[in-house]
Structure 1
């Protein structure tokens, strides 16, 4: 059975949590729903209350409800308090510094707790740095994945990139400007200098810039410039490999057979994965014996 059926299923009262997307740079991107929610919600949970204050000033909104600071360092302590308020019938709006809460930002713990408690969670969608960068990158958008920030330590970063070596989907990352050069150098080491990439800087802001090219070209650009601002990096997926000949995949079939898989099933699995003829691969396996 699903966790919920409809927006209020499982709710113990009229309270609700609304994840509200905030502008990623241009205050004009604020939705009418965001403005209404900030003005009417019983509680506004904000990643940074100072940024919230600047936002509502720019929007000309007066927050009537209680403002609570809610960030990665106090999520564990504050979540139970916020869930109790929603249980009591309060409407709570969650906002982060930019974009959609819980996407590389605080909010997941709150949603997880609300779902477990059967409380209503909904969203006021809006700006997203991930989707904006993807759309502007000029790279394939039909299949993509979001990888957030790479680890800061070189060894951990290399390990994460090794896990992505065969990833064919377009990948979107966030990165701090002072670490961009090191990131691009790590991408060159793992994926080579010719992989297509886009660095998206200060999206929707006055000095928005999207630099497109190869990993090698953008590393040269980063080395020659002092990069500033909010950064999203969009990397092309791994190129599709040529299927090769059936003989190239005999070892893969034999490896499956050694694990107890029947020969015909092993041939079918490998043939589908590498896109070669099952009949020709089966013949190649028998010939190799």
Structure 2
């Protein structure tokens, strides 16, 4: 007999992890704490190893617990979908989808995408998390991620959604103290604010393009951060110049709060992509979300560059 034959034990384990404690999970499942503790002990006994590390302050997954959690979530999701299909004669999508996104892209474009998807599928519920560490989110059991930047890993399938164009910007107040640049090399004398994260490239190297011309700058950013909103605020205050997505600074450029520097030059576009686990069976609602995202992004992002 396999540990995966008992969905009740797997559901108990997944709920404990999701709730953060046995007591919180017991309330959620409407059972007593001793009963839930016994179910966890039974699952660990059948697994032949500890699944959770527990002390007085916090609870964390063991390596075995992490793997079993991923498989348990997939099985529970499939069971939920089958039950939903039997319960409903029509083929309406229902259930929860766990999505993650890079922070600023998620708070704007992806949030609008998800809102449109839910409006089209009212029985679906979406949980959106933010992270610039996408592989960590996949390991935590998320169904899909919509990212700005590149990601290549055999554990995920990646589908291109379009290109995010980027430009060099600075504030009007900064230009009072620095001569407006006439060529890319002039930007080397400016203070820089940059985005960190492996999928965004090396923050200390910036390559700009204009037609067939290229110029690579060696930078020493005065401020490195994982959030584009932090960069935008720093640029607004005149701390330095930065390369940011055009859609992200459009209002600042129109209001005059920011100025586009070297308008004929641009940074390499970021790829926008949707990723999902390569080894995990996708429920119908997740497949529908992936297709919807692909079509939606085609209307708001430029197509892939040839």
TM-score, normalized by the shorter chain, greater than 0.5 = no
TM-score of the aligned structures, taking structure 1 as reference length: 0.27
Higher relative contact order (CA 8 A, sep 6+): 2
More strand by share: 2
